[in-house]
Structure 1
Amino acid sequence: MLLCPSLVTTEIGLLAFLRLFLKKLERDLENENGGAGVYSASLKKHYLLANDEWKEDIPPGILDGHNVADFLDPDILERCEELEREEGLRLEEEAAQDAFMIDGHDELTEEQREILGKIRKKKAMLIQEHRMKKSTAESRPIVPRKHDKDRKFTTKRLGRQLTSMGVDHTAAVNRLRNQSRGRKRERSLSRADGDDAMDVDGQHSDKKLRTMSRSRSKSRPIEEVVPGDGLRDTAQKKKAIKKSRDSVKNRNKEVAVERRTASSPP
């Protein structure tokens, strides 16, 4: 196809030339098929098939009683055989390693076997201690009292269980009681001092609490001038408060018909 040079130099000719020799973009296809919101790009045109006419075909889900998705990979049999070979090699390596470990133990001396037995025993004990530590109450969250409605988690019940197991529960119960006691004000009063001493100490403690307590701050009058109000004195502030109340009062006297919205400036 021959093009006239004068035609190519013009704008229309240049557009025609570009349409002939350049690849059509998705934007061009969108404009030709209804524009944005109407055109939907097709992703099937990028499929790599033996025949390009198959790209827009709808693949069947079931064919001849078989699921088509199970046969999409053409190399699936080769991959299965490769996995089986890999699994066989792995099993052979594990068997060879186990045989080496057994043969190696036969070559150890009596002292080395004893050391190896101690190491394995120590390792087993560490694993058992770790599992016991995870299962004990130290690693479990504390159940709040509001969730223990049936009172299942009590020191009395713990004591009965430990006693039935033949374990002295005194230390465990005392430790739980010390943990359950929260941080409070130290009790300076003692019941062994007698009622009179408690009365005297109670009076002193009440007096101390009253002196340490913080009283209510004095209310500030509304007419008092505070730095930052922008007013000169109390009289000017009273006048400003009165004008503010009068403006609200006059506006509230208007009925629904008289109310209007002033037009905002442009």
Structure 2
Amino acid sequence: MREFLTIDREANQIRLRRSTFSGTFLLVEGSSDKTFYERFIDKAACQLASVSGKPSSKLRAIAVLEILEKSTFQGILAIIDADFERLETLTYTSPNLFRTDTHDLETMLINSPALNKVVAEFGSEEKIAQFNREIRLALLETGMSVGYLRWLSQCDGLNLTFEGITFSKFIDEQTLQIDELKLIREVKNKSQAFSLKDEDLQQRLMSQKNKSHDSWQICCGHDLVQLLSLGLRRAIGSNKVADVEPNSLERNLRLAYEEVYFCKTQLYLDVRIWENNNQPFRVLRNEV
């Protein structure tokens, strides 16, 4: 009950802000998303509101948007991570709700030339040549197994814990190849889900896979960044753990992401169409 009261409170805070600001309010998930999207908005015409907390930032953003829409609040929109929604039936649709092109913000960064710039900064030319695989593709191919297990956990209501898993326990640091059985065991241990059988999970994981699925919708950005961190220590670089720590790499990817990359996304086009349909409200700077 308290959570829903807090969602109402967040909606009311935006209503209060309307008394001093007549422009657009853009809801986003959490502080890092706010930092990212802040670079592209017209701050005179649009203000950001980051939503975080339980049950999840995404669900809270949708709930706040829904409350405001029902009260005919004008000039409100939200950007959320797509997660696995494009592989399923969308839980909630609205002309004011937009999703990232790929699974989440971090996969959008990795799917852009920002990745090339970060690899050029932290990688070793010699090791990259010896690696003999396209780095982005290697991250995707390996990250798919973790992504599918995440999706399986969600579909089957297994409530598996992925936060804090140690990737080096199931990833070959030289090749970035994955051992799925070791992945399952690491996630089971982290989740204290000892009643689940390794073989059953592995079989279920295999049946979940489908060649028609888009890798960019399956893979979780945080997982790909973890893999990149591992790779930059041995497979494609010789960095110390502290120098390529995942949170630091995510910041570097955000910094390396240029406005021109954002302009090529479907999300950018969607927001521009929203502006056209909701005049005089604006979101993005004219030069973006």
- Between Structure 1 and Structure 2, the one with more helix by share is 1
Short-chain TM bin: under 0.3
More strand by share: 2
Asked which structure has the greater CA Rg, the reply is 1
Q: Larger relative CO (CA 8 A, sep 6+): 1 or 2? A: 2
